[in-house]
Amino acid sequence: MHYLGRIPMTFAAGAVLLATLTGGAGAGPPIPSQSDHALLSDARLAEASSLSDLASTKIAETQTPPANAPRQHTFRDCSQCPEMVEIPAGRFMMGSTDGDNDEKPAHEVTIAKPFAIGKFEVTFDEWGACAADGGCMPNTKPDDYEWGRGRRPVINISWNDSQTYLAWLSQKTGKTYRLLTEAEWEYAARAGTTTKFAFGDEITHEQAQFSYGKPGVGQTVEVGTFAPNAWGLYDMHGNVWEWVQDCYYINYVQAPNDGSAFDPPPGCIYRSLRGGSWDYAPYDIRSAARYKLPASTKLEETGLRVARSLE
């Protein structure tokens, strides 16, 4: 992931990111660049390289279920709840052999049980329903920068904010809503493919909302503007970065292979995000691409997609 040193569009968000990047008081450590990843021990790098070489012989294997599997069942748990898509169990190769260091080693992950994932990124309308019902405190009306609300993905959402929405959904429905794990997210984004994107090794502006090459120029679009992937999921590439459950780690050497989140105690400095956004280049919206931010950070390109386990 190529971390940009761009200042957000609002003063408040800018202050948060500026403090993070400069190591200001209370901001925690600065976000490492890709060069920081090179500080891994020789032994760990050698291990990751060896495992990646082994994975490269398997990365092209057909993943299960295949990309041409039938569209999955959809449902809503309430009239104001996100539409959910049932994703089947299966296995896939997570990560990449030719991407950034934090995408390595590529490794096989088994998703043992089906789960449900939001068909779309959570929208302003859906967040507003939570706020109107007394939930999503204190970020009840995230700034939309006058781009529009409605069916655009909600933005200016931190990882901490996402937990308030999930708590509201869970209380309202009696079901346990949560964020996706990184493995679940990548499994769903790939939708049975082994290419850089769900649509192949190239992507166009007719397939996703991403940067036109001028940082800060552009905005989100309504969810569902572009065609879905093979499993009926929209905007898995671009539009907004989607928070996931995992605590970010600099590589996959210690990553679980059962689809669970990497979330070791006693705490977590950075949470992971996936999918890229309207302001990032194609390289950064690949299925394997990763991003990280402190859990309290909210930007004009951070949003969420929900998940829940199926009984």
What pLDDT digit, counting tens, does each position of 252-280 carry? 999 999 999 998 878 899 999 999 999 99
Is residue 220 in some structural domain?
A: yes
Instruction: Please report whether residue 2 resides in a domain.
Output: no
Residue 196 is assigned to a structural domain of this protein? yes
Q: What is the mean pLDDT of residues 132-150?
A: 97
- In a domain, residue 301? The reply is yes
Give the strand order in the sheet containing 74-75.
Answer: 74-75, 84-87, 115-118, 306-309, 177-179
**Angle of CA points 181, 183, 189, to nearest 5°:** 100
Which residue range is the domain that position 236 belongs to? 11-309
Which pLDDT score is estimated for 264?
Answer: 85
Q: Give the number of domains in the chain.
A: 1
13-42 mean pLDDT: 36
Q: Is residue 270 part of a domain?
A: yes
Determine the pLDDT at residue 168: 98
> 5 lies in a domain?
no
Residue 24 has pLDDT above 70, yes or no: no
Could you tell me the CATH number of the domain that includes residue 82? 3.90.1580.10
For residue 1, tell me if it sits in a domain.
Answer: no
User: Is residue 207 one of the residues assigned to a domain?
Assistant: yes
In whole angstroms, give the CA distance from residue 50 to residue 44.
10
Where do the DSSP E strands lie in 32-148?
74-75, 84-87, 90-94, 107-111, 115-118
**pTM for this prediction:** 0.82
